[in-house]
Structure 1
Amino acid sequence: MVFVLTVSPRLLYVTNRQLQNSKRLFTNGTSKLFKSSTGALVNASRNSRHVPVKSGGRYFKKRHVAFVSGVIIVGSYITFNHSNYYNLDTAPGSNVNGNGSGFNPKSLPNKGVSAIGEDKRFYSTTTNSVNQDFSLGHQSLKQGVFLLNDEQVSNKLRQFEESYNVHRGKGVLRYDICQLPSNSPIEDDRAEEIVQVPILQDNNIKTSTDWMFFGVFDGHGGWTTSGKLRDQLISYIIHELGTIFKPAKEENLRYVPNSATIDQAIKNGFLKLDHEIVNKNIERLLNDNNKARAAELLMPALSGSCALLSFYDTNSRMLKVALTGDSRALLGSFRDNKWTVRQLSIDQTGSNPTEVARIISEHPDEANVIKNGRVLGTLEPTRAFGDCRYKLSASIQERIYKQFFGRRLPNNLKSPPYVTAEPVITTTKVNPENNDFLVMASDGLYEMLSNEEIVGLVVKWMEKEKMIKPQKSFWNYFSSTENKLPEAVDITSDKSSKQPFRKSRQSSGNGYFLEDKNVATHLIRNALSNGGSREQISMLVSIPNPVSRRYRDDLTVTVVFFGTDSRVQDDGGQLEINSEATAGGVTLAKPKL
């Protein structure tokens, strides 16, 4: 059987954004019970956040790029034998034609396919001289791309998946996590933590609540900033909450503050950590002039990261979502006999009218403060940790670069700071009885799936895992719904967030896969499938990182299931690893400075 792959120049153009219980005491005894993000997974960055894609002297908006506008022809029969081999030496960005576009149509051979053996097919977009350096008399170091078989694809998708059952009787049943790196090392990161807090309610009832934290940190320009957030952000938030949950007269009990005070504490935690990363560390570096510590202190300030943090108070059932950047949180709910999806965070980018108006009001005399949908024409998120190039004065930056290292100043830098780490916080009442669930993910997922598709995929997975019963109606008996996702209505009022753009299929959602025990892995697999194509998944997963960053972003997904379990009493247990939905994850940590 033969697999024939034909690639048009347009397929090779889709580059940058396409296929692209120890105790922790407050003053008087609040204890930290669990931290499941012990080692944090590898993390992935988004290099294309800083500079628009440039090809042949033109800037292309990512929304205008087709997911696969080139033609993929599967000839004869399809097989994923280990012998299939494809060489993609002139993947966009290799600058073959010398003009920066990374692709030269003239370099395509006259015959797209040539045999290399009885059942092998070899495809090259380069001339033979690129593959073999005759002047040096040895083979080139460039390697081909092997198309992975189904088992290898699943192993790679599951490499960093984790799942935990929460035996606390507090309204959270389980949470699943999965990451798929694209950068090397991955620039995304994540963290989860549960803290038990004894409280005294207004009616003098003594009880306890669980503070549940779930964080997704989408780095760009490096992994060091998101690594800082993984290690420190939740601790900063806990410290700030400890100052506002005032101790009661009874030992180890605390009064509960109002919602606005909690919001301010979360904002303070964000801002204080960013001030430590950007201002205090650089001040230490310049004062001490210690070149040995330059990487440790400077790199988290130079790179950047978005931060999406959810804080669930199990006693009040209030879910607070704090966002700095353009990751996204969704709440899926079954209400009024239908599934709904609501965005709990709105993307903060140079394309968001609210964010644009805010920045222009802060810098009214700077015409280029937002250009091409980016801050100063280069940075897409309007809020972020790190990114000191958009926060520090020109004189300080020049001093840093002269004494240590860094990048040149952004154009039009006049009155920094332009970017802030202050989050926007939303508060939502959760109803565990309504099968509510929370989906948090870096923007790599939302580039490929719509809000409705994500909720539909989760609901279909829940039906398959018998977490809920499929919804039946009169019309189900006269039409086949097996190949369709459950309908979800998007009730988000603010529609300014970006829509998925890495798609070629108009009717996405009519095809899907149901083969993962981990729902986060399930979402990533289906996002890569572009509407149900197994070949598409294999192609995207087979491209090694960091080359894969040209075709897809790093992916980090966390899904939290709310609900009640009558078999578990309050405070009845701790976290339990769900082994059938956990393939690894904690075994490979991202480097630490």
Structure 2
Amino acid sequence: MYSRSAIRHSSRSLKSPVAGIFGFKSNGIIQACRNSKPFSSTSCSLSSTSHKRLFGLSRLTYSRKLSFGVAVTSGLLLVTANYVSNNSIRLDSNSGSSFLFSTNSLASNANNGTSNKYSLTLMSPEKVTAKLRENEISYLVERNKGVVRYDISQLASNNPIEDDRSEGIVKVPLDNGDISDWMFWCVFDGHSGWTTSAKLRDNLINYVMNELKASYTPNPATPEVLSPPNDEAIVQAIKSGFSKLDDEIINQSVQKLMKNPQKSDAAALIAPALSGSCGLMSFYDTKTNALRVAVTGDSRAVLGHRDNYTGGWLATALSIDQTGSNPSEANRIRNEHPGEESVVIRNGRVLGSLEPSRAFGDARYKWTKDVQEYIGKNFFGRRIHPALRSPPYVTAEPEVTTTTIYPENGDFLVMASDGLYEMLSNDQVVSLVVQWMENNKVSPSISTTIKPENPSLWSKLFASNDAGKNLNVIDTTNSDALKAPIRRRGHNADPSSMYVVEDKNAATHLVRNALGGKDREQVNMLVSIPSGMSRSYRDDLTVTVVFFGQEPGQKPDESGGICINHEATHGGVEFKSKL
């Protein structure tokens, strides 16, 4: 657990009209919150670049049906850029989630029907900016319960994008009469297709929420009122939620198919098992200020916080990359498969093929040989891995860390798929957000009731006079298991010479600077490369930035809601809901 002393700020209460969240009973115990109309937009652009000296031409064929149908991709074989070294079957899904307040997928199943032959042209800076902002959205949380805002941005490399994400808020009545908000943010880094990440988007928060609910003790007189368990029980509930969902994906799906072997049902049942996805979840309990980060795979959560002594900024990774290159993960798998020590981990990959050592789906590394032969013979499937002996080799059980958050300090959390950390280190990510905060120290939309004589909580928490002067953030993470950036060079240069602040959305700001920042030609080039070819030079990028903050001495605003932050949202379309 990371613990820091609180820095007190004197500031006024943040208030605004209710917008964006309402309560409903879930099994008579938990009140969940959801939006009435999730935001969505298209995520994949099909533009391209003409840098023939860098990129060879490749014809990409892609076919897709609107319901569950088979879509086969063929194109470049990208060993160094991919999690796995072969192509995959991709299947469409029309499923959606409506179980709580949700700001889920910007767009997971994008296909605009354009030709599969592309002219290679470099996009203009204006079009590059439009594409970077195409899938950005920002939310203001006006409940004075520890979180003031979160920003999200996605940039596709695959088509459809294999990343996904979800968020949710649950209101939990406690036995002392208080109400706690459970806040969830998730990032899903899919591979070999998008179906597993889409399954996680629609279900993971619900699975974890149900396990957490079961770990709380109902009051005998008032069952809807709960007594919280200890930290160990909460961690185990999160792990159980992850594992139970993967069991549904891997085992229950194939059992249903064997009982009723209809080809018309095969795609819907086992598509999420055939592809795979990493899963990163942050769970913040507003009553205890405990932030629990669960990771399956190599997406990463990094906390930006101030040093209590120097006032400078620190970066602390709250998750450890789980890959075959992580010594503890490699040893764990070798110990679980005696006699296969030289085979189970080769070249930093499971069975020499899969980079993440923990993942959802990826049935090729979990199903027995008999099951894989049955699926391949009767439906569809991959060639059985020649090294398969004693599956499962990969687990979805996460590692969970617990960190105490001090909202008065202006802490922030950056969650991202590994595509971001291939380009930026932990300290660079925090430096970028600090610089962004300094340049956005007056945010008119942080509260709809801001007046000149009533400065916003945002400016008090995140815009100190010296916030942007020292961008040399110290990385306090003590681990050799975190992958270093591999995509770009020149990271030791003066940060101010590399970074640019042009976006109102903090997550988009990170994406832009990961692609080159002030090197506009580099940014234009990387954004312009079309899907298929682009996967050699940049991964799908999904970034969520959460800003913690609270008015000291002020009561929580139970009537407060969540609303769109228009200036940092593509299109700025507002939705309304009520308590």
TM-score bin (small chain): 0.7 to 0.9
What residue identity is the alignment partner of 1:211?
Answer: W
Q: For 1:564, give the aligned amino acid.
A: Q
Q: Distance in 2 between matches of 1:240 and 1:388?
A: 24
Distance 1:430 1:377, change over 3 A: same
Question: Matched residues in 2 for 1:307 and 1:546: separation?
Answer: 23
The partner residue of 1:469 within 463, 466, 474 is 463
**Pair 1:523-2:497 in alignment:** no
Tell me: CA distance 1:575–1:36, structure 2 relative to 1, closer, same or farther (3 Å): farther
Displacement after TM superposition at 1:91 (Å): 3.4
Question: Do the aligned partners of 1:281 and 1:298 also contact (CA within 8 Å) in 2?
Answer: yes
Match of 2:241 in 1: 269
* TM-score in terms of structure 1 length: 0.76
State, as a whole percentage, how many aligned pairs show the same letter: 51
Structure 1 residues 239, 455: closer, same or farther in 2, change over 3 A?
same
Give matches, 1:432-511, under 5 Å.
Answer: 432-466=407-441, 467=459, 468-470=462-464, 472=466, 486-508=471-493, 509=495, 510-511=497-498
1: distance between equivalents of 2:116 and 2:177?
Answer: 68
Give the distance between the partners of 2:40 and 2:243, measured in 1 at CA.
23
Aligned to 1:86, the other structure's residue is in SS state coil
| Of 158, 168, 190, the match for 2:133 | 158
2:544 aligns with one of 552, 558, 574: 558
Instruction: Indicate which of 232, 254, 264 corresponds to 1:292.
Output: 264
What are the equivalent positions in structure 2 for 1:339-488 lying under 5 Å apart?
A: 339-366=313-340, 367-466=342-441, 467=459, 468-470=462-464, 472=466, 486-488=471-473
Residues 96-142 of structure 1, C-alpha deviations (whole Å, 9 max, x = no match)? xxxx999xxxxxxxxxxxxxxxxxxxxxxxxxxxxxxxxxxxxx985
TM value normalised by structure 2: 0.77
Which is further off, 544-553 or 558-567? 558-567
Q: Aligned-pair distance for 1:443? A: 0.1
Q: Which residue identity does 1:469 align to in structure 2?
A: A
- 1:216-227 equivalences under 5 Å are 216-227=187-198
Q: Go from structure 1 to structure 2 and tell me whether the alpha carbon gap of 1:93 and 1:283 turns closer, same or farther (over 3 Å shift).
A: farther
Separation of aligned partners in 2, 1:257 and 1:418: 32
CA–CA distance in structure 2, aligned partners of residues 451 and 568 of structure 1: 34
Question: How much does 1:546 deviate?
Answer: 3.0
Give the number of aligned pairs: 475
CA shift in 2, pair 1:37/1:300, >3 Å: farther
1:542 alignment counterpart: 528
Q: Would the alpha carbon gap of residues 573 and 470 (structure 1) be closer, same or farther in structure 2, given more than 3 Å must change?
A: closer
**CA 1:39 to 1:307, structure 2 compared with 1: closer, same or farther past 3 Å?**
farther
CA distance change for structure 1 residues 85 and 526 in 2, over 3 Å: closer, same or farther? closer
Give the match for residue 215 of structure 2: 244
Alpha carbons of structure 1 residues 465 and 293: separation in structure 2 relative to 1, 3 Å? same
| Structure 1 position 550, deviation (Å) | 1.9
Once residues 149 and 444 of structure 1 are traced to their aligned partners in structure 2, the CA distance between those partners, rounded to angstroms, is 24
Q: What is the rounded CA distance, in whole Å, between the counterparts of 2:491 and 2:561 in structure 1?
A: 45
CA distance in 2, matches of 1:197, 1:444: 35
2:23–2:171 contact (8 Å) kept in structure 1: no
Counterpart contact for 1:160–1:584, Cα < 8 Å: no
Q: 1:40 to 1:218 in 2, by over 3 A?
A: farther
Q: How far apart are residue 249 of structure 1 and its match?
A: 3.6
**The one of 270, 293, 299 aligned to 1:321:** 293
**Alpha-carbon contact 2:280-2:299 (below 8 Å) kept:** yes
Please state whether the residue corresponding to 1:146 is helix, strand or coil.
Answer: coil
Contact 1:42/1:185, CA 8 A, preserved across alignment: no
Distance verdict in 2 for CA 1:401–1:416, change over 3 Å: same
Letter in 2 for 1:499: A
What amino acid maps onto 2:489 in structure 1?
S
Aligned partner of 2:282 in structure 1 is 310
Cα distance in 2 for residues equivalent to 1:247 and 1:350? 42
RMSD: 2.7
> Structure 1 residues 219, 211: CA separation in 2 closer, same or farther (over 3 Å shift)?
same
Give the Cα–Cα distance (whole angstroms) in 2 for the partners of residues 36 and 286 of structure 1: 38
Opposite residue 218 of structure 2, the aligned amino acid is P
Contact 1:43–1:187, Cα closer than 8 Å, also in 2: no
Show structure 2 runs of 5+ residues with no match. Answer: 1-20, 60-75, 79-114, 442-458, 575-579
Matching residue's letter, 2:505: N
Shift of 1:94: 4.0
SS of the residue 2:173 aligns to: strand
